[in-house]
Amino acid sequence: MLRRLLLTALLLTTACGGGGSGGATGTIEYWLWDSAQQPGYQKCADAFQQQNPGLRIHISQYGWDDYWSKLTASFIADTAPDVFTDQLAKFPQFVDLQVLRPLDDLGPTSDIKDSDYQQGLAELWKGKDGKRYGAPKDWDTIAIFYDAAALRAAGIDPATLDELTWNPRDGGTFEKTIARLTIDQNGVRGDEPGFDRTRVKTYGLAANGSGGDNWGQTQWSAFTGSAGWQPTDQNPWGTRFNLDDPVVQDTLSWYFGLVRKGYMASFAAIGGNNAITADTQIQSGLAAMGLSGSWTISSFTKLTDASGNKLDIGVAPTPIGPTGKRASMFNGLADSITTFSKQPENAAKWVKFLSGEECQNIIGRTGVVFPARPTGTELAIQYNRTERNLDVSAFTDHIRNGTTFPLPVTSNAADITALMRPALDALFLGEAPASSLTGLNQQLNALFEVAG
C-alpha cells in the first residue's frame, strides 16, 4: 500500500500518462525512449530471437517526457514492461520505490561483472544494499561542439580550442573565445568596442537550460568538476550536499554571468528551459558553439544550413579548470527489470544479451552512443572516424585520462529535482545570486534528516 501511495505521488510530479501492456509468456516487453537507438536495438532483438526461438521481444519507443510518465503510470496500474531503459537521474527513485528486481537474484544476470564495462560504470547501478539493479548499456561524457565556419569568420584556429582554460575570476581563454564568437545585431563582436549585449544576433555559447534537473550535466558540470567540486559527500548514495561551498557558488556566479555579459544565450532566447537545444541553436546561427553530451553526436553531424548544405561541425574538449585538469560528468544508461514482470528469468536472458558483447558491438557499429563495453566503444569510435570523418577523442579522452566524475546518485531524487529546478532557474534568469544555493543546500540536507 505504501509503495502504491509513493508511486502515485511520483506520478503527480511527472504528469499523468497511459501504461503499456504487461509481458505475456513468450513475449518480453521492452521500453526505450531514444528513437535513434531503436533500430540498433531491433537488430539486437532479432539476434536474440534467433538464439531463443521460444521468445519474442516487443520494443515500445516513447519520447522522453511521455516515457517517464507512462512508465510511472504502468507501475501504478500493474501494466509495466518486463524490461526498460533506465537513467541514473531516475534510477534512485525506482530503487526507493522497490519497483526494480535485483539482477543478482536471477540466473542469467547473476554473473554480471563490473570489470566487463568501462571503469566505474557498473558500480553506479547498485543499490544501498549492494545489489545490482541495472545492467550497463552505454556511457556518455561532455565536450564542445562548434561551427567551424563561425570560428573561421572570427579568425580563431580550431586547434586553440584544445588548450582553453577557464577560471571564475575572468573566465580565462574560454571566455575570451566565446566573447570573440559573439556578434550583436550591428555586426560588432563581444570583444570589440561598441558591442551591444542587449541586442545579440549570435551568442558565443549556446545555453542548455539551468541544469536544475540533471546537476548541470550539459550546462555547468564541466566547470564545477574542473574546479574540484563534488555535489555530495559520497557517490553513490550520498546524504549530505555541498551547494554551500564557495567553489560551486563562485563557479555558477561566473557561468550564469555569461548571460548578463551577452556571451551566452539567455532564458528568453532559447524559449525557456532547453526549449531550443544546443544543436538547433548552432544550426540557426543563434550560437557558435555549445556544450553537449556524446549521445547527441549524430544530431550535430546531421545539421544543415538554410540551403541544405551540411554544416562543418567540430568537437573540442571541455576547458581546463583551476585544478589544472579538464572534467566531465560520467553518466550512462542501463537496462532494468521491473518487479511486475511475470517472466523475470526470461527478462533476465534479454538483459544479459543487451549487456553482452554481441549486442553492444551491434550498437557500437551504429555510432549512436558509446556502448558500455570497451570493444563496443572502439567500434563506435571507428564508425565516427570512417563514416562521419569526426574525431570523438574529446569524449573518450575523459575515460582514458580519468577526468570523469559520476552523476550524483541519491535517494529522494524526485524531491531533489523539484527543489533544484526553481533555484537554478532563478540563477539563470538573474533573479537570485549564487549565494542563494546555501538555502537550497539546507533544504536538500533536510530531506535526509526527515527520512532518517
Tens digits of residue pLDDT in 121-130: 999 999 999 9
Question: Which SS3 state, helix, strand or coil, does residue 394 take?
Answer: helix
Write down the pLDDT at residue 321: 98
Domains identified in the chain, total number: 2
Considering the domain boundaries, does residue 204 fall inside one?
A: yes
Write down the pLDDT at residue 451: 54
Q: Are residues 45 and 107 in the same domain?
A: yes
Confirm if 10 and 97 have CB atoms less than 8 A apart: yes
Q: Quick one: how far is CA 54 from the chain centroid?
A: 36
Q: Are residues 70 and 163 in the same domain?
A: no
Confirm if 437 and 252 have CB atoms less than 8 A apart: yes
Q: Are residues 225 and 107 in the same domain?
A: no
**Distance spanning both ends of the chain, measured CA to CA:** 21
Write down the pLDDT at residue 274: 58
Tell me the pTM: 0.91
Residues 6+ apart with CB under 8 A from 14: 68, 69, 72, 414
Write down the pLDDT at residue 13: 40
Q: Are residues 171 and 273 in the same domain?
A: yes
Q: How far is residue 10's CA from residue 181's CA, in Å, rounded to a whole number?
A: 43
Considering the domain boundaries, does residue 395 fall inside one?
A: no
Considering the domain boundaries, does residue 402 fall inside one?
A: no
The pLDDT profile of the chain, 452 residues, written as one tens digit per residue, is 444 445 544 444 443 333 333 333 599 999 999 999 999 999 999 999 999 999 999 999 999 889 999 999 999 999 999 999 999 989 999 999 999 999 999 999 999 999 999 999 999 999 999 999 999 999 999 999 999 999 999 999 999 999 999 999 999 999 999 999 999 999 999 999 999 999 999 999 999 999 999 999 999 999 999 999 999 999 999 999 999 999 999 999 999 999 999 999 999 999 876 579 999 999 999 999 999 999 999 999 999 998 999 999 999 999 999 999 999 999 999 999 999 999 999 999 999 999 999 999 999 999 999 999 999 999 999 999 999 999 999 999 999 999 999 999 999 988 999 999 999 999 999 999 999 999 999 999 999 986 55
What CATH number is attached to the domain comprising 161? 3.40.190.10
Considering the domain boundaries, does residue 403 fall inside one?
A: no
Q: How far is residue 245's CA from residue 227's CA, in Å, rounded to a whole number?
A: 11
Nine-digit cell string for 14: 511527472
Closest CA to 91 of 155, 56, 137: 137
Q: Are residues 341 and 238 in the same domain?
A: no
Q: Are residues 292 and 424 in the same domain?
A: yes
232-236 long-range contacts, Cβ below 8 Å, gap at least 24?
Answer: 232/408, 232/410, 235/405, 235/406, 235/408, 235/409, 236/92, 236/123, 236/124, 236/126, 236/406, 236/408, 236/409, 236/410
Domain span holding position 269 = 142-329+410-451
Confirm if 395 and 294 have CB atoms less than 8 A apart: yes
Considering the domain boundaries, does residue 404 fall inside one?
A: no
Considering the domain boundaries, does residue 400 fall inside one?
A: no
Q: Of 358, 389, 420, at which residue does a domain stop?
A: 389
Q: Is 271 left (phi over 0), alpha (psi -120 to 50) or beta?
A: left
Considering the domain boundaries, does residue 443 fall inside one?
A: yes
Per-residue burial over 5-35, b if 16 or more Cβ lie within 10 Å, else e, is ebbeebbeebeebebbebbeeebbbbbbbbe
* Residue 357 burial by Cβ neighbours in a 10 Å radius (0-12, 13-18, 19+): middle
Write down the pLDDT at residue 11: 44
Q: Are residues 266 and 164 in the same domain?
A: yes
Q: Are residues 73 and 167 in the same domain?
A: no
